[in-house]
Structure 1
Amino acid sequence: FPGAKLAEFTPIDPHLSRPLEDMINNGTLPEDWAVYYCNTKCAVEAGHVDQAWFDEFFGMVSEEMREVRMRGAFASFEGLVYPTFNPRLHTDSDLTDSFTEGMYHYRAIDWGSGPENAFVCLWAAKDAVGTWYIYDEYYSTDQNMTYMDHADRIYNKHPWPNDSWHGPTYGDPASPGLARLFTQSGIPIVGANNQVIEGIETVRVALQLKNGDPKVVIDRDRCPNLIRELQTYVWEKSRGGKFTRNAAPKPLKRDDHSCDALRYLLHTNSGAAGKGSVTGGKIKPKNLKRFLR
């Protein structure tokens, strides 16, 4: 048609479409809104789109984008580190209401100090059959807070009695000075196993369903940042914009601090060779004054 323009409205950017997707899933769309999906598969079946073009086009579309392009589904992130994570299967509400005696409790901290480098602490419980329940998070990007402020918030968020059911708090072993500071503040820190690829594999295995049941359950009301990061955590691409096949895989270091804390929890507790306690005598003390400002 003269003057016509072809416009594409496929939701290929998850960052842009996620708010709308959340409103649809949560039933919070405005009453006068309606959502329609343009389905290319149906268009082929109705004879509006040529089958040869369809086969050629979708032969070039990545697996992650196929349902988006074909059926109008909302996009997921390409190259997801945790593609099996599903909020409908791996999240629930009010987890602590169903806790019983005999569950072991742990915490994990990923040190951070700013808008692009969040400070994160996760609280988790593990039952007798090995199911993890991530029941709370502390997440802060406030640059005005000191590490002592973070320690105080964590210390007072949940009681942590000195008994056999409340285990260690795992921390990134790259910051032994912070570990000692928190230990002196009443939060004893044990160095987490910081193996990245091996730790990611531990989490990936834990996210698989066992006899139809998840082995990791996250409180959807208390841990929104962990849930968000698990859905957006991707592998790093090469300069050409492709995922490297021959080079060692590397996760993209962006908005990943909750994922790191989850990896510390599961991998350190899996029995893999760890880094040892950062409060042990082999690590020399660091100057703590810079953390007290």
Structure 2
Amino acid sequence: MVSPLVGKQLRATQLATARGNLWEGAVRSSKTVSSILVWLKYIRTGPPGALLMVGKTERTLKRNILDVIVEMVGVKRCKYKAGAGEVVIFGRTIYVAGANDERAADKIKGMTLAGAYLDEVTTFPESFFSMLGTRLSVAGAQWYGTTNPEGPNHWLKKKFLDRARLHLRRDGTVVESTDPKALDLHRFSFSLDDNPYLPAQYVANLKLEYQGLFYKRFVLGEWCLAEGVVYDMFDDSRHVVDVLPEIRHWMCVGLDYGTINPFSALLIGIGTDERLYVASEYRHDSRAERRQLTDAQYSLAVREWLGAYRHRGQQGVTPQWIFVDPSAASFMTQLWSDGVQGVAKANNDVKDGIRSVGVAFGANLLSVHRSCAGLLAELPAYAWDPKAAEAGEDKPLKIDDHSVDALRYGLHSTVHDWRHLVRANLEVAA
């Protein structure tokens, strides 16, 4: 059941009358529900013709949008045809597509569209978004979209949002552009506090969970640069421990493969206190040690490291997963041939992975044992690339990032195993 729209939620739906209408800002700020309600009305009352719904992938579109629509209108009125690239809403067939790389523009070439709904617009290639504009050629066609903020130099902000004809700002005021070259675009900016239906404790926890860059973007709804230290929430006095509690589950090893560059593997577990711990590190730097190892030697070294690890009187651990740098195909083959269980490609989504690690540190859910010297040396110096930020991208500098990459591989690949612990840990701390 959808709660009645109030305040900026309602105002945005009333102002969504332009050719393009975009809800942008903080997480859980009611962007999605407000935009969906307008889209559902458009499906029933908009001009005849083909409609399109787009997400970063079809899977994320289903999870973020289609599943929400099903909750609103029921399965009889929203039927997703998995594999067919279609969804039927209120009896109207709508094409669905993913737009996660430059090839996505080819998916809509030749289409003539009467309307479109776009989820996570900042994740689309600019070429796809530009192509979409040429496809919305039916008289009266409109598009509706949502996104979280990125850097101020992102193509969506510089080329589109900054040229919007109307802007419902975060402070609730409405500003109309006097520029004759303004785009037929209405922009609605939201912060976390714009959703009055969120429980106060939930909001407080989110504000603690997100820190630094992610606090500015996902709580305040600001378009801000990724600059300075990536993990600025990391604090040696809070996040480094000399003694580990009993570990109830050896969750994974995150492993960054290197031949000339350092090879790093981190053992990560969940303690009986329901917190995450980086318990041990294996690291080999070929240049520093003047000895380059083969895949077989690295495999043996990792197995010996895990076999020799001692914890509370017990020797040897078997993690559930070993998540390996996806580019290290030959090393994964070596591990499989040596009978190592649970070997899998790590999730290498850099920005989302950094967010997962940041959330774990920000919620004080993650601690690192002091023996993990390589990781502890890299964490305070791991920084955003200023040149990439100027170009509208969020990328960390590729300098001294081997153990921090291993940490990201391990935590982001298991995020669904530990994410529920974040809120529980924050509630206990509160």
Tell me if both proteins adopt one fold, taking TM over 0.5 as the criterion.
Answer: yes
1:49 corresponds to? none
Q: 1:127 Cα deviation (Å)?
A: 3.3
1:125 corresponds to? 269
Q: 1:250 & 1:152 partners in 2: Cα distance?
A: 33
1:107-126 aligned at under 5 Å gives the runs 107-114=253-260, 117-126=261-270
TM-score normalised to structure 2 length: 0.39
Q: 1:226 Cα deviation (Å)?
A: 0.2
Cα distance change on mapping 1:82 and 1:140 into 2, 3 Å: same
Match of 1:217 among 367, 370, 380: 367
AA in 1 matched with 2:299: A
Secondary structure at the aligned position of 1:230 is classed as helix
Q: 1:128 Cα deviation (Å)?
A: 5.9
1:31-46 aligned at under 5 Å gives the runs none
Q: 1:237 Cα deviation (Å)?
A: 1.9
Secondary structure at the aligned position of 2:415 is classed as coil
1:151 corresponds to? 299
Match of 2:398 among 253, 257, 264: 253
Q: 1:125 Cα deviation (Å)?
A: 0.6
Match of 1:172 among 325, 339, 342: 325
Cα RMSD over matched residues?
Answer: 2.7
Q: 1:105 & 1:204 partners in 2: Cα distance?
A: 19
Q: 1:84 & 1:226 partners in 2: Cα distance?
A: 15
Q: 1:158 & 1:191 partners in 2: Cα distance?
A: 19
Q: 1:254 Cα deviation (Å)?
A: 1.0
Q: 1:110 Cα deviation (Å)?
A: 0.6
Q: 1:129 Cα deviation (Å)?
A: 6.2
- The alignment of Structure 1 onto Structure 2 pairs a total of residues equal to 181
Contact 1:105 1:166 in 2 (8 A): yes
1:266 corresponds to? 411
Cα distance change on mapping 1:120 and 1:99 into 2, 3 Å: same
Q: 2:339 & 2:379 partners in 1: Cα distance?
A: 30
AA in 1 matched with 2:392: A
Match of 1:244 among 378, 383, 389: 389
Query: Is 2:291 the counterpart of 1:141?
Result: no
Match of 2:357 among 183, 203, 219: 203
Q: 1:155 & 1:119 partners in 2: Cα distance?
A: 14
Gapped runs of 5+ residues in structure 2? 1-226, 418-430
Contact 2:295 2:330 in 1 (8 A): no
1:5-84 aligned at under 5 Å gives the runs 79-84=228-233
Q: 1:145 Cα deviation (Å)?
A: 1.9
AA in 2 matched with 1:99: E
Cα distance change on mapping 1:227 and 1:172 into 2, 3 Å: same
2:217 corresponds to? none
AA in 1 matched with 2:356: T
Secondary structure at the aligned position of 1:271 is classed as helix
Q: 2:273 & 2:346 partners in 1: Cα distance?
A: 23
Q: Deviations over 1:178-237 (max 9, x none)?
A: 21111212333211111000100111111113xxxx2111111x2011011011100112
Q: Deviations over 1:99-131 (max 9, x none)?
A: 14x3233111111012xx110111111136652
Contact 1:155 1:186 in 2 (8 A): no
Q: 1:173 & 1:246 partners in 2: Cα distance?
A: 26
Q: 2:280 & 2:379 partners in 1: Cα distance?
A: 15
Q: Deviations over 1:12-47 (max 9, x none)?
A: xxxxxxxxxxxxxxxxxxxxxxxxxxxxxxxxxxxx
Secondary structure at the aligned position of 1:217 is classed as strand
AA in 2 matched with 1:166: P
Larger Rg: 2
TM-score normalised to structure 1 length: 0.56
Q: 2:345 & 2:283 partners in 1: Cα distance?
A: 20
Q: 2:337 & 2:416 partners in 1: Cα distance?
A: 27
AA in 2 matched with 1:155: R
Q: 2:258 & 2:318 partners in 1: Cα distance?
A: 28
Contact 1:103 1:165 in 2 (8 A): no
Secondary structure at the aligned position of 1:144 is classed as coil
Higher normalized strand content (fraction of residues): 2
Gapped runs of 5+ residues in structure 1? 1-77, 273-293
